């Protein structure tokens, strides 16, 4: 009874052409851990959660909880509770009766169920809210009530479908902290989905990247940031740097010069990816700089800034652009000559985008993720 969740080959096909909304997904969520599924809109995130919860039947594959195959087990008998992006509280019940719902269905008396509901309201930091009507609550309060209602059902697995994406920035941070506390006290297994890589990082012990119904890569977020397996993963994580070049015997060659790549990579065309947070800018003639360049664009991000540097062509090799995300410091205006330093342990090389000819890589990077919290 501890909540070890496994998805095995989970697949859902739909429509006359039997297109996959979810294709052959394997996932292991250890009891008490939190896995975040990160994927863009339409990638199959909600489908994955609905199949796990038993709200929909898979075309193939199984959901296994603590060694038991749940195929054919009704949603309400799975020991799972789900929180949606919209809280979906019962408008005609007060807050305590909303939270008490699962107990009431189990046959607990109203009095006892409401008493327990108040404990869960305390837990989500809404003491004294028991008699309030759902419509009198703010968005953040509503979502706390939805969380209390889900937890009161004492689920082995808590499923969260972008539960905080409708909240504004400060409130979202509070909810992250609340979820951390709830995990410390109740240790539920958590499977959550989000389109926001920062949210995935904040809430997941590990992250799995979903695109087009397929899992592309999973692991600790730090590893995904520094070792994305493809351009798609790099972009979904908000990576801004894609430098086309050629790989020869473990070295990547581009306008940035020859850079050593520490992971195994095939000879031939390859795109160097490096997190903007890892790029360092130096004086133009610094001995440790990898290449000299000129600042061509500056974008403010609160106390931080995105500084784009162009490194000129070298003979037949075309120029390259590298963006650094820097904290507070001396201004680096457009036109300033700088050196670009790329720490070797932060570099990865991935296969070129099959559609690369369609659009300039730098343009894609500009639009990939201008969001911020
Ligand atoms: P997400 O939650 O990541 O935005 P969804 O799981 O809601 O994605 O949807 C995955 C894809 O499946 C979408 O492209 C959606 O349009 C498609 N889809 C269309 N019809 C169905 C259906 N009957 N069942 C499941 N998915 C469907
Ligand atoms: Mg969805």
Measured in Å, residue 42 CA sits from the centre of ligand 2 at 7
Q: Ligand 1: which of 22, 42, 50, 199 to mutate, most ligand atoms within 8 Å of CB?
A: 42
Measured in Å, residue 21 CA sits from the centre of ligand 1 at 5
Q: Would you say residue 356 has pLDDT above 60?
A: no
Report the nearest-CA residue for atom 20 of ligand 1: 14
Q: Which of 114-118, 147-151, 357-361 has the lowest mean pLDDT?
A: 357-361
Sheet of 257-260: strand order equals 257-260, 251-254, 242-248, 268-273, 348-350
Report the nearest-CA residue for atom 17 of ligand 1: 21
Ligand 1 shell residues, CB under 6 Å = 12, 14, 21, 39, 41-47
Asked if the domains at 5-222 and 239-366 fall in one CATH topology, the answer is no
Confidence of residue 166 (pLDDT cuts 50, 70, 90): confident
Report the nearest-CA residue for atom 12 of ligand 1: 21
Report the nearest-CA residue for atom 18 of ligand 1: 21
pLDDT per residue over 310-320, tens digit each? 999 888 889 99
Does domain 5-222 sit in CATH 3.40.50.300?
A: yes
pLDDT at 1: 52
**308: helix, strand or coil:** strand
**Please, what is the average pLDDT of the chain?**
92
pLDDT at 108: 95
Ligand in closest contact with the CA of 84: 2
pTM, to two decimals: 0.88
Q: Ligand 1: which of 11, 13, 21, 55 to mutate, most ligand atoms within 8 Å of CB?
A: 21
pLDDT per residue over 6-31, tens digit each? 999 999 999 999 999 999 999 999 99
Nearest to 40 by CA among 154, 194, 165: 194
pLDDT per residue over 80-126, tens digit each? 999 998 888 999 999 999 999 999 999 999 999 999 999 999 999 99
- How large is the average pLDDT for residues 136-156? 94
Confidence of residue 361 (pLDDT cuts 50, 70, 90): very low
Total length of the chain: 373
Ligand 1 atom closest to residue 21's alpha carbon, by position in its atom list: 12
pLDDT at 365: 39
Ligand 1 atom closest to residue 12's alpha carbon, by position in its atom list: 25
**215: helix, strand or coil:** strand
| DSSP per-residue letters across 83-98 | E-SS----TTS-HHHH
Measured in Å, residue 45 CA sits from the centre of ligand 2 at 5
Q: How far is CA 56 from CA 63, 158, 193, 238, 309, in A?
A: 12, 17, 17, 32, 49
Domain layout of the chain by residue ranges: 5-222, 239-366
Q: In the structure encoding, which two tokens stand for residue 195, read together?
A: 């389109």
Measured in Å, residue 24 CA sits from the centre of ligand 1 at 15
Q: Is the dihedral of CA 259, 260, 266, 271 positive or negative?
A: negative
Q: In the structure encoding, which two tokens stand for residue 359, read together?
A: 């659009």
Measured in Å, residue 309 CA sits from the centre of ligand 1 at 40
pLDDT at 315: 82
Nearest to 271 by CA among 320, 342, 315, 236: 320
Q: Would you say residue 360 has pLDDT above 60?
A: no
What separation, in Å, do the N-terminal and C-terminal C-alpha atoms of the chain show? 38
pLDDT at 367: 40
Distance CA 160, CA 168 (A): 17
Confidence of residue 248 (pLDDT cuts 50, 70, 90): very high
Ligand 1 atom closest to residue 195's alpha carbon, by position in its atom list: 3
Report the nearest-CA residue for atom 1 of ligand 1: 42
Nearest to 294 by CA among 248, 228, 242, 340: 340
Distance CA 85, CA 159 (A): 11
Confidence of residue 355 (pLDDT cuts 50, 70, 90): low
Higher-confidence residue: 275 or 372? 275
pLDDT at 364: 38
Confidence of residue 368 (pLDDT cuts 50, 70, 90): very low
Report the nearest-CA residue for atom 25 of ligand 1: 21
Measured in Å, residue 41 CA sits from the centre of ligand 2 at 7
Ligand 1 atom closest to residue 162's alpha carbon, by position in its atom list: 2
- How large is the average pLDDT for residues 201-212? 97
* Geometric angle at alpha carbon 225, from 219 and 230, rounded to 5°: 85
Distance CA 171, CA 164 (A): 8
Q: In terms of CATH architecture, what is 239-366? A: Beta Barrel (2.40)
Contact 49, 159 (CB under 8 A): yes
Alpha carbon dihedral 44, 192, 227, 25, in 10-degree steps, equals -40
């Amino acid at each position: 009874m501890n909540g070890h969740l496994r998805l095995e080959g989970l697949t859902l096909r739909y429509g006359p052409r039997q297109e996959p909304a979810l294709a052959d997904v394997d996932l292991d969520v250890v009891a008490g851990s939190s896995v975040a599924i990160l994927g863009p809109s339409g990638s199959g995130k909600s489908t994955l959660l609905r199949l796990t919860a038993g709200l929909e039947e898979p075309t193939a594959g199984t959901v296994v909880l603590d060694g038991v195959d749940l195929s054919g087990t009704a949603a309400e008998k799975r020991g799972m509770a789900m929180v949606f992006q919209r809280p979906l509280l019962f408008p005609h019940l007060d807050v305590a009766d909303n939270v008490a719902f699962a107990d009431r269905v189990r046959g607990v008396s109203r009095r006892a169920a409401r008493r327990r509901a108040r404990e869960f309201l305390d837990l989500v930091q809404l003491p004294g809210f028991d008699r309030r009507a759902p419509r009198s609550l703010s968005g953040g309060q509503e979502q706390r009530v939805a969380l209390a209602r889900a937890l009161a059902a004492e689920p082995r697995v808590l499923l969260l479908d972008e539960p905080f994406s409708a909240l504004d920035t400060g409130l979202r941070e509070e909810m992250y902290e609340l979820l951390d506390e709830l995990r410390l006290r109740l240790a539920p297994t958590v499977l959550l989905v989000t389109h926001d890589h920062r949210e995935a990082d904040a809430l997941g012990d590990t992250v799995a990247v979903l695109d087009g119904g397929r899992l592309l890569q999973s692991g600790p977020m730090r590893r995904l940031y520094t070792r994305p397996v493809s351009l798609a993963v790099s972009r979904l994580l908000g990576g801004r740097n894609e430098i086309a070049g050629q790989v020869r015997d473990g070295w990547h060659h581009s306008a940035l010069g020859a850079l050593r790549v520490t992971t195994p990579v095939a000879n031939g065309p390859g795109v160097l990816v490096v997190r903007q947070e890892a790029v360092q800018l130096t004086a133009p003639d610094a001995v440790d700089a990898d290449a000299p360049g000129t600042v061509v664009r500056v974008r403010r991000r609160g106390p931080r800034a995105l500084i784009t540097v162009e490194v000129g062509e070298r003979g037949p090799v075309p120029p390259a652009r590298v963006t650094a995300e820097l904290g507070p410091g001396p201004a680096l205006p457009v036109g300033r000559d700088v050196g670009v330093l790329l720490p070797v342990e932060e570099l990865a090389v991935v296969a070129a985008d099959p559609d690369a000819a369609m659009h300039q890589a730098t343009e894609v990077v500009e639009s990939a993720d201008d969001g911020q919290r």
